[in-house]
């Protein structure tokens, strides 16, 4: 079972917003970048 791209991105954005830009993990930004780059 796997998650669709929309679900993953929405969870990443929720984490970034809820934790604040200075308190989130850099991996969250990287994951969003890679997902958007690969899936256009």
Is the pTM above the cut of 0.75? no
pLDDT for res 36: 92
pLDDT for res 1: 64
- pLDDT tens digits, 3-38: 999 999 999 999 989 888 777 788 989 999 999 999
Quick one: CA torsion of 20, 26, 28, 33, rounded to 10 degrees?
120
Taking each helix axis from N to C end, the angle separating 26-39 and 5-19, rounded to the nearest 10 degrees, works out to 150
List the chain domain ranges: 5-39
Q: b/e string for 12-28 if b means 16 or more Cβ within 10 A? A: beebbeeeeeeeeeeeb
pLDDT for res 31: 92
pLDDT for res 25: 82
């Amino acid at each position: 079972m796997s998650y669709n791209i929309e679900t993953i991105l929405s969870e990443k954005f929720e984490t970034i917003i809820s934790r604040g830009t200075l308190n989130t993990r850099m991996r969250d930004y990287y994951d969003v970048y890679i997902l958007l780059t690969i899936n256009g």
